[in-house]
A and B are shown apart, each in its own frame.
Chain A
Amino acid sequence: MSWAAETRTILKKELRSEFRRRWSSALLLLFGLVTVFVVSFSLGAGSLTPGLLSAFFWVTLFFASTAGLSRSFLKEEETKTILALRLLASPPSVFWGKLCFNLLLLFFLELILVPLFFVWMNVSGINASGFLLILLLGSLGLVAGTTLAAAMVAKAESKGVLFVILAFPVLAPLLIFAMAGTKAAFAGAGWEQLANPVKALVSYAVVIGAGSSILFDFIWEV
């Protein structure tokens, strides 16, 4: 099977197994909902400055997504299917299949959480297309930076805590760029002010994604 076809097969298998465990995606969604709720409820209904809004937005998204992103390899370990996956598929296709699935999962979360955040936090007067681009690139970087950590914690002790500890330092530059870009987009800034964060986000996603996919070969084999 070609590399692309194998990646598609892994992605299909992920989607099917997720569909069969619908309650688990519902749990992820609820977890995200609680995160958004805690943040917006504790801040009240006042309108915040773009800087604060973008900071809260990415903190919320980071914590709402950790529960789902950390599980991508853990569930293989729990259902004892990890050996079969190692026998049947090549490491790059496992990595990219999981990464694509994580990205879809993140989009699904964002589809519900972002409108809720906007409504609850009274976000208005923004550069919508700029915001969507930053969100898309930020999500790419988020899955690129966490897939390797997810594969590592599946085989380590104290998994949930370790995932956040491992993922955060790697994701920190991404969060800084995404927050800067979102702040500008929330303030209604034009494209020329978004150019630098967008460039930084693209380079981050490419460098970290490529690096992770090379390193994944080594950790998948042991």
Chain B
Amino acid sequence: MYIKWMRWLLLIWLSAVIVFAFVQPAPQQQIGETSRIIYFHVPCAWLCVLAFFMTALLSVRYLLKKDMTLDAKASLSAQLGLLFCLLATVSGAIWARFAWGAFWNWDPRQTSIFLQLLIYFAYFSLRGSIGETEKRATFSSAYAILAFLTVPFLIFIVPRITPSLHPSDTVIGKEQKFNMGPVVRWIFFSSLAGFTLLYYYLYRLGAKIKVAELNRKGMA
């Protein structure tokens, strides 16, 4: 039921975020106008990881309960994660063109988001190449969990081994704490909350469709 009014809330909320993101001064003077990307790129990257975490969590639950709806939800979350991963990659590359001078220069952050994309592609290739339903569910769950185990290495250890130019390391990093003003903080966290709600909305809507499909096939 609340799915219905949630779309109106989302429409108003995200419109407000977009308006404020552009009418307020740029959040970071050193980077300039392009730093407005923080309101859209960071939430996309966050959802890319959150969706994959959900896929891994649902996969663990599938392996323990063997309930086909859990597998359907895991693949749904991966679909949404792939969408936000593509958005984060493309928006990041466009920003890099203007901030670093090239669309792509294999910064550790670019490497790790590209690997996250590859993980999603591998996950769907695996699902595509197994015909048997139960086997597909079990294998893709195991793969999602194994791939999720590599995420901490990519996020926490790789940037320490190879230096990065990403603002989260250079501008916001430990030495030069990027102090968000109160306005910037409000817009940023509103955007983060709005995007997370958008993911939740799409997830609930998709889950309804997936469960209905499974029921029609008599497999739920």
List residues of A whose CB falls within 8 A of some B CB: 148-149, 152, 155-158, 162, 165-166, 168-170, 172-173, 176-177, 180, 196-197, 200, 203-204, 207-208, 211-212, 215-216, 218-219, 222
Q: How far is B199's CA from A117's CA once the two chains are assembled, in angstroms?
A: 49
* Chain B residue, CB-CB nearest to A180: B161
* Chain B residue, CB-CB nearest to A200: B157
Using known A-B contacts A169-B119, A169-B150, A208-B150, determine if residue A176 contacts B158 with beta carbons closer than 8 Å: yes
Q: How far is B138's CA from A176's CA once the two chains are assembled, in angstroms?
A: 29
**Closest Cβ–Cβ distance, residue A91 to chain B (whole Å):** 12
Tell me which residues across on chain B come within 8 A of A219, comparing CB atoms: 138-139, 142
* Chain B residue, CB-CB nearest to A159: B129
Other A-B pairs beyond A152-B126, A222-B138, 11, CB < 8 Å: A152-B142, A169-B122, A169-B150, A170-B146, A172-B111, A173-B153, A176-B162, A177-B157, A203-B157, A204-B153, A208-B150
Tell me which residues across on chain B come within 8 A of A208, comparing CB atoms: 146, 149-150
Q: How far is B26's CA from A70's CA once the two chains are assembled, in angstroms?
A: 51
CB of B149 within 8 A of CB of A207, answer: yes
Tell me which residues across on chain A come within 8 A of B150, comparing CB atoms: 169-170, 172-173, 208
Our pick among B115, B126, B141, B146 for the contact of A172 (Cβ within 8 Å) is B115
What string of 1s and 0s marks CB contacts (under 8 Å) between B125-136 and chain A? 110011100110
Using known A-B contacts A162-B126, A162-B129, determine if residue A173 contacts B146 with beta carbons closer than 8 Å: no
Tell me which residues across on chain B come within 8 A of A216, comparing CB atoms: 142
**Closest Cβ–Cβ distance, residue A126 to chain B (whole Å):** 19
Interface residues on B, range: 20 to 34
CB of A222 within 8 A of CB of B135, answer: yes
List residues of B whose CB falls within 8 A of some A CB: 63, 111, 115, 118-119, 121-122, 125-126, 129-131, 134-135, 138-139, 141-143, 145-147, 149-150, 153-154, 157-158, 160-162
Tell me which residues across on chain B come within 8 A of A196, comparing CB atoms: 160-161
CB of A155 within 8 A of CB of B135, answer: yes
Tell me which residues across on chain B come within 8 A of A152, comparing CB atoms: 126, 139, 142-143
Tell me which residues across on chain A come within 8 A of B154, comparing CB atoms: 172-173
Q: How far is B115's CA from A156's CA once the two chains are assembled, in angstroms?
A: 23
Could you say which of A166, A204, A208 has the most chain B C-beta atoms within 10 Å of its C-beta? A166
Using known A-B contacts A152-B126, A173-B154, determine if residue A215 contacts B146 with beta carbons closer than 8 Å: yes
Q: Can you give 5 contacting A-B residue pairs, CB < 8 Å?
A: A152-B126, A156-B139, A162-B125, A173-B157, A222-B138
Our pick among A155, A165, A170, A172 for the contact of B130 (Cβ within 8 Å) is A155
Q: How far is B134's CA from A152's CA once the two chains are assembled, in angstroms?
A: 13
CB of B129 within 8 A of CB of A158, answer: yes
* Chain B residue, CB-CB nearest to A210: B149
Q: How far is B162's CA from A177's CA once the two chains are assembled, in angstroms?
A: 9
Using known A-B contacts A169-B118, A176-B158, determine if residue A200 contacts B145 with beta carbons closer than 8 Å: no
Using known A-B contacts A155-B135, A204-B153, determine if residue A169 contacts B145 with beta carbons closer than 8 Å: no
* Chain A residue, CB-CB nearest to B116: A169
Tell me which residues across on chain B come within 8 A of A158, comparing CB atoms: 129
